[in-house]
Structure 1
Amino acid sequence: MASNTPRVVAVVGGTGNLGSSVARSLHDNAQFHVRVLSRDPMTEKANALAKDGIEVVKCDNWNAEDLQRAFSGCWGVYINIDSDDPNFKQRIGPPELEMGKIVIDSAVKAGVKHAVHASLPAASKLTNGKVSLLAFDDKAAISEYMLEPGRFETASVVSAGWFLENAFDPKYTAAFGGFATTPDAEGYLTYRVPAMGNDPESVPWLAVAEDYGDFVHGVFLNPSKWHCKYIHGVSESASFSDLTAKFQQGKFAIFSLV
């Protein structure tokens, strides 16, 4: 490949929080040409990427022929599958693991050399079978499948810490006391969480939009260095009380164990 020819990197899940961060980070580097795969290229998120000059192609992740066409000419692939898909969460039809295998097999057949997967640790293994979280276990199994010898020239895993953006997601603010958008009865933005069991607790926070894509970008700049490595994407490690203290510099906020 000529040095001035951009390396094409396909981004599976490129309209999501993690994928769009990856797509935008790589797009800022002339060494790469980003190709985002989307079930519907006409969505608002897909259109926003396209308006910024990022290629968006229609692709069904269950369809191997679709995937192989989308992967044609690609040097690398970033894979993140949406575990919040209702079919996965309600166990309707094939599991996330099956989709992951289809995506990986299609990339291999298309001649993709370098792969990165957004994964999670296997909850069932960490707890000796006491706790099984489907999304965690399936993502871990997908990573193991990707890392098997003979599939890719290099393969790496880049996991994500606790999204800082969750503090502004209504689903999460409702679950954690209202922080950081809904004041309590006394006018405070209160972050309520159960005791985690590690004292003092240290939470691996991640600014997804600002930082996650750069971690993956770094892997693609030197894939051989990161082959078969598990990388934890963390912007800063801090306690919940530290986070609320920093936020309090702009608004009244407190941390409360429940």
Structure 2
Amino acid sequence: MTAKIITVFGATGNQGGSTVSAILNNPSLSSKYKIRAITRDPSKPAAQALASRGAELAKADLNDIASVKAAIAGSYGVFAVTNYWETTSKSGETQQGKNIVDACKEQGVQHLVWSSLPNVTQLTHGQLSKVEHFDSKAEVAEYAERVKGDMIVSYFMPGYFMSNLTGQIGRDPDSGTVSLSLPWDPTTTWVPVIDIQKDTGLFTAGLFEAASKANGVSVQGVSEWLHPRQITDTLSEVTGKDVVFVQQPASVESAASLGNRIAEELTQNMILIRDYSYFGKGAEKDQAESDQFLVAGAKKNTWKQFAETAQWKW
């Protein structure tokens, strides 16, 4: 049986790299699928490392739909992720996503897995309207649902990156206290954390395996749901050092007063987690519905396991 080609955008990044590894490291999956890794520079060591593992390398510019079409030609499946932070342009990221959707349709791709996020403006009824890096991806998903025809489209929605916490937890130079300071309630806020490098592929490869059963499905990409104090208590246990959580005040008004659109966006993002459980109120109760799409036999990483191997600079 000829292996089906799955083209992976951002193959040397977090989500794309995890998708590649989930397939290449699984004998059952690697016998079914051949990886085509899309990277901006196939000559770089990270790309060459993928080639040495058996991936085919290709290059594409997401702003040039012709190059996207050429890159995905002959693919059974496509995993696609875009990076808002490269340009901080909502319209730019949305157009890149639409280019991918249109190219997949025109090239006869059977299954697209799109890295998406909730539409925060809609979810919060306009209360939080500045979280562009969520809304842009959600608008691409909405577009895909309108135009996909008989193409299967699935949506992977990654939670809060555990790796973000390595930069957010630090030592106060004055008090010497190691702390995590964010506008969350320490014992009631649910934070959906994910080991983005290890666990993304367990979901995305699982969606490809589910085929038509995953059509139109949005999965919550979460390794573990935790309260903020559980995050710091676990880190104290792992490192043997006191780590505390400090709740910071935040409101839509205070975010707007920052006078910086990126700072306002990120503050609203934290309020989204505090007041809407990131994916919507009560989303923590629904995780099992998403976990059924994990690769068979997969075990997600825990925050404790991540913390034990992470590099802490304090």
Matches within 5 A, 1:184-199: 184-185=172-173, 186-195=175-184
Q: Which residue of 1 aligns with 2:54?
A: 53
Residue 111 (structure 1) aligns with: 108
Q: Which residue is 1:143 aligned to?
A: 141
* 2:184/2:228 contact within 8 Å kept: no
Paired amino acid for 2:157: S
Q: Structure 1, unaligned stretches of length 5 or more?
A: none
Tell me how far 1:152 sits from its aligned partner. Answer: 4.4
Sequence identity, in percent? 28
Q: Which has the higher helix share?
A: 2
Q: How much does 1:187 deviate? A: 4.1
By how many angstroms is 1:234 displaced?
0.5
CA contact (8 A) 1:108 1:152 kept: no
1:64–1:191 Cα change, 3 Å: same
Whether the 8 Å contact between 1:7 and 1:33 is mirrored in structure 2 is: yes
Cα distance change, pair 25–127 in 1 and its aligned pair in 2 (3 A): same
Count of aligned pairs between the two proteins: 240
**2:193 counterpart of 1:205:** yes
CA displacement at 1:218 relative to structure 2: 0.6
Asked if structure 2 preserves the Cα contact closer than 8 Å seen for 1:9 and 1:76, the reply is yes
**1:29-79 residue CA offsets vs partner (Å, 9 max, x unmatched):** 221111111222223432332333322211111222222221111000111
Q: Which residue of structure 1 aligns with residue 15 of structure 2?
A: 18
When structure 1 is superposed on structure 2, of 157-166 and 59-68 the one drifting more is 59-68
Alpha-carbon distance in structure 1 between the residues aligned to 2:184 and 2:74: 49
Distance 2:209 2:89 in 1: 38
Alignment match, 1:65: 66
Query: TM-score, length-normalised on structure 1?
Result: 0.86
Query: 1:90/1:226 Cα in 2 relative to 1: closer, same or farther (>3 Å)?
Result: closer
Runs of 4+ in structure 1 over 3 Å off: 149-152, 185-188
Q: Does 1:225 find its partner at 2:213?
A: yes
**Post-superposition shift, 1:149?**
5.3
Within the alignment, does 1:243 sit opposite 2:231 as a pair? yes
Tell me how far 1:240 sits from its aligned partner: 1.2
CA deviation profile, 1:200-230 (whole Å, cap 9, x unmatched):
1111110111111110111111111111111
Aligned position for 1:255: 245
Normalising by structure 2, report the TM-score. Answer: 0.71
1:33 match: 34
Q: Are the structure 2 counterparts of residues 48 and 190 from structure 1 closer, same or farther at C-alpha, using a change threshold of 3 Å? A: farther
